[in-house]
Structure 1
Amino acid sequence: MHVIGHSFGATIALRLAVTQPHRVRSLTLIEPVFFAAAMADAPARMHAHEREAQPYFDALAEGDHRRAARLFNQFWGDGTRWDDMSARNQTYLSDRVHLVAAQTSAIVEDHAGLMAPGALGRASMPSLLIQGDQTADIIDATHESLARRLPNARRAWIAGAGHMSPLTHPDEVARAIRSLVKMAEE
């Protein structure tokens, strides 16, 4: 199958490609938040990201999920200002924002061992790392690290896009994916 994942879903897709490579014909990772890769090769960039994200974690620790959701959306959202969102969407995000921090063991601590020597090399299928050219530096650091370890990876940048490029630039993202799928099918 052709596996495509975005953000945390891309981290799951990466794990699938490493643990079940015989099932994956091509792998598209759109801005995976697999920060363990950045930590391995660019710890200073990872620490800069942690400092930048600290207000979000402070809000969570204080139990202020609404402020945490606003800060998270500001950093990782699609560009929609918090005040321009419906009350329903604000509540939805606020009620679930704690789930982001719950992913730490998978994305920062690498509990699955994807960064173990040779692990990412098992994902030898054609792979594509897509990022917006306006996205957070931590994504670029993550992509650099993954591109060094995935044997058949290439990178693509979506002009004018941030983290939510599948929503804000769907045509450009689809073109990049189609190109990879076509290559994998040949």
Structure 2
Amino acid sequence: MATEVINGLAVEIYGDGQPLLCIHGLGGSSNTWTPVLPAMEGFKVIRIDLPGSARSALPVESLSIAGYVAAIATTLDALAAQQVHVAAHSLGTIIAQHFAVTFPERVRSLALFGPLLAPPEQGRPAIHARAQLAREGISGMQQIADAIVNGATSRETKEQQPAVLALVRESVMRQPPEGYAQSCEALAAAQPARVEQISVPTLLVTGDQDGVAPPAAVQSMGERIAGANVFVLTGCGHWTTFEKPMECSNLLREFYRDLS
């Protein structure tokens, strides 16, 4: 496994085969995908830290969905990866949808975990407020991390998987405050992609206790993407690959096996 820095982005590359791009969500990193890496055997896995997240530099221009899409396209160009399968989580699923619509010729499939089209209008002010809290620095990031652990994981995870709670908390607390704040603002400004234009095989996975990507909303989203398959994991919140790694791995294996 090798790590490269491409135009300021930290990129981990592992394996051989068709390229599989992994895009994490808000507060995540390339490690969002570590629990399900065995299910990606046979691919050349490209795991990025988004601009301003984890180990990647914050660009001069403010973060936006369009900026994320452009950064991903440039990174794939640098790796000579013209066509890719895409796996994404949360905010990353919005980016993946826009990437697939903007560059349909470059996307072979989509596997979206905790997927959403865009934040609901009533939720956008809270995301902006979280950005301001992040700019308070370490203390603000700690408050955000604790709130996410409490609100975005399932009852079962809280009761039975303390290590997952620590992992989610650490993932958020390790984010650069300004980068996280701008990521929040990019999410708050996000608009839905024209997902009806997506025609590649698509897997949508959410948890039965995911308040960010509720099952009903994900089912509705799946109805707008031709041939999409929707799965709801029991006892799971929003951090699907952390909370239910085996179930997510099994779904990925079946999804990619059906593509071959």
TM-score, normalisation: structure 1: 0.68
d(CA) in 2 for partners of 1:100 and 1:152? 34
Q: 1:165 deviation in Å?
A: 1.8
CA contact (8 A) 1:26 1:126 kept: yes
Q: 1:98 deviation in Å?
A: 5.2
CA contact (8 A) 1:10 1:29 kept: yes
Aligned: 1:129 with 2:204: yes
Aligned counterpart in structure 2 of residue 107 of structure 1, from 187, 197, 209 = 187
Aligned: 1:5 with 2:88: yes
d(CA) in 2 for partners of 1:22 and 1:98? 34
AA in 1 matched with 2:201: P
Aligned: 1:71 with 2:147: yes
d(CA) in 1 for partners of 2:112 and 2:218? 9
Paired residue secondary structure (1:182): helix
Q: 1:99 deviation in Å?
A: 3.9
Aligned: 1:18 with 2:106: no
d(CA) in 2 for partners of 1:10 and 1:150? 14
CA contact (8 A) 2:101 2:195 kept: yes
Structure 2 equivalent of residue 93 of structure 1: 173
Distance 1:81 1:34, change over 3 A: farther
AA in 1 matched with 2:176: R
Paired residue secondary structure (1:27): strand
Paired residue secondary structure (2:235): coil
Alpha-carbon deviations, 1:68-98, whole Å to 9, x = none?
A: 332233223574779x849x948x7165355
Q: Which has the higher contact order (CA 8 A, sep 6+)?
A: 1
Q: How many residues align?
A: 167
Distance 1:155 1:2, change over 3 A: same
CA contact (8 A) 2:201 2:228 kept: yes
CA contact (8 A) 1:31 1:131 kept: yes
Paired residue secondary structure (1:2): strand
Alpha-carbon deviations, 1:142-169, whole Å to 9, x = none?
A: 4244223222212101121111121221
CA contact (8 A) 1:25 1:184 kept: no
CA contact (8 A) 2:118 2:192 kept: no
d(CA) in 2 for partners of 1:102 and 1:85? 24
AA in 1 matched with 2:240: S
d(CA) in 2 for partners of 1:33 and 1:20? 19
TM-score, normalisation: structure 2: 0.51
Specify which structure has the higher proportion of helix.
1
Structure 2 equivalent of residue 139 of structure 1: 213
CA contact (8 A) 1:68 1:97 kept: no
Specify which structure has the higher proportion of strand.
2
d(CA) in 2 for partners of 1:81 and 1:59? 26
AA in 2 matched with 1:71: A
Paired residue secondary structure (1:163): coil
d(CA) in 1 for partners of 2:187 and 2:117? 4
RMSD of equivalent CA atoms: 3.5
Aligned counterpart in structure 1 of residue 252 of structure 2, from 177, 180, 183 = 177
AA in 1 matched with 2:118: F
CA contact (8 A) 2:127 2:185 kept: no
Unaligned runs of 5+ in 1: 40-45
